[in-house]
């Protein structure tokens, strides 16, 4: 039986490492997202999202994250940003708009933050600095 190993990136807030373990966990979620590259699949999905998702043996949590468009949760559950962005595109979202949603910001605020040098490092270096500091 596989055991989950400690990930050195787990201590960095907002960081999800997409490694082989994560890839296995999100395989069906990511294949669903990739299916949206075909116009006929996008149309079928938009016509009846729950029924279309029945084609993919995702976990209930993955399915729920897709239906709620909980972008960060999809990544936590094995989604790859480049695959989940296909779902965003299906919803008419640019990659920038998607990044803003994942950051909990408006697109305008996200653009301004990035133009100003990005997110500050305070509170974003490690979770242990919150516990230990």
CATH assignment at residue 48: 1.10.700.10
Q: What is the pLDDT of residues 23-43, one digit of tens each?
A: 788 999 999 999 999 999 999
Q: Is residue 4 a part of any domain in this protein?
A: no
DSSP per residue over 14-26, as a string? T-----HHHHHHT
Q: Is residue 3 a part of any domain in this protein?
A: no
Q: What is the pLDDT of residues 3-12, one digit of tens each?
A: 555 666 666 6
Q: Is residue 100 a part of any domain in this protein?
A: no
pTM of the entire predicted model: 0.79
| Two tokens, residue 32 | 């669903």
Q: What total of structural domains would you count in the chain?
A: 1
Q: Is residue 85 a part of any domain in this protein?
A: yes
* Locus of tokens 């949206």: 36
Q: Is residue 133 a part of any domain in this protein?
A: no
Q: What is the residue-averaged pLDDT of the chain?
A: 86
Residue 25 belongs to domain spanning:
18-93
Q: Is the dihedral of CA 118, 82, 56, 39 positive or negative?
A: positive
Q: Is residue 9 a part of any domain in this protein?
A: no
Q: What is the pLDDT of residues 92-118, one digit of tens each?
A: 999 999 999 988 899 999 999 889 888
């Amino acid at each position: 039986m596989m055991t989950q190993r400690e990930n050195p990136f787990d201590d960095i807030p907002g960081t999800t490492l997409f490694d082989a373990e994560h890839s296995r966990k999100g395989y069906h979620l990511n294949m669903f997202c990739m299916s949206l590259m075909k116009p006929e699949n996008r149309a079928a999905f938009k016509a009846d999202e729950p029924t279309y998702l029945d084609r993919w043996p995702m976990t209930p949590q993955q399915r729920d994250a897709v239906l709620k468009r909980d972008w960060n949760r999809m990544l936590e559950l094995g989604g790859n940003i480049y695959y989940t962005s296909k779902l965003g595109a299906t919803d008419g979202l640019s990659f920038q708009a998607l990044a803003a949603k994942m950051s909990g910001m408006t697109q305008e605020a996200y653009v301004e933050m990035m133009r100003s040098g990005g997110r500050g490092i305070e509170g974003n270096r490690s979770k242990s600095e919150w516990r230990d500091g």
